[in-house]
Copies of this chain bind each other. A is one copy, B any other.
Amino acid sequence: MGRWEPNAAGRLREAAMDLYLEQGFEQTTVAEIAARAGLTARTFFRYFTDKREVLFGGAELLHERLVRALEDAPADATPIEAVAAALTAIAELLVDREFSGRRQQVIDANAELRERELIKMATLSAALTDGLRTRGVRDSDARLAGEAGIAVFRVAFDRWVRSKDDRMLAQVVNEALSQLRTLVAAS
């Protein structure tokens, strides 16, 4: 049972994304994803609980890295420097721009998935706020830096998946943070 399949999770992810884009997320079954990847539904369920988890399965890892980056930031880092470290850490997990872009197209095309993505972002924002509080940042700064940080991340992510050059997401995130500084200073 269950012979080892090289890169089964990656193949399933690519097959799922192809099908979600071709025929819609709703219309796609786990059996079709497995067949497209040349694998069985049984193998699919070894990696994902359902077809939605193919899109959102990475959220826990993002959360862990974000929390750890806040813990590891220098004690004298300002709140925004700590936010920058946290956003850089999660940006470094997202290295496959083409895959991220296709995933985003799938999400944009489906109201339920867009809601799920909003919830995921709200959860990351709360984690950022909590992590800042743990660092001793006062509550009102922590909440504002957490919300603004995730706002910057969302904008940078969209920019990155649409960009044509070879910049890494982490770089785009840090540029967007600088841009926010310029914007809010100009008033």
Question: Which residues of A line the B interface, CB within 8 A?
Answer: 78-81, 84, 114-115, 118-119, 122, 140-141, 143-145, 147-148, 150-152, 154-155, 158-159, 176-177, 179-181, 183-187
User: Do residues A187 and B181 form an inter-chain contact, with CB atoms below 8 A?
Assistant: yes
In-complex Cβ contact of A155 among B144, B158, B177, B180 (8 A)? B144
Ranked 4 nearest A-B pairs via Cβ:
A147-B151, A80-B187, A151-B151, A118-B118
In-complex Cβ contact of A115 among B115, B145, B179 (8 A)? B115
CB-CB under 8 A for A181 and B176, given A143-B155, A158-B143: no
A81 contacts across to B, CB distance below 8 A: 187
Q: Tell me the complex Cα distance, A151–B146, Å.
A: 9
Q: Tell me the complex Cα distance, A92–B35, Å.
A: 56
Interface centre among A151, A176, A181, A185 (most CB of B within 10 A): A151
**A152 to nearest B CB, angstroms?**
7
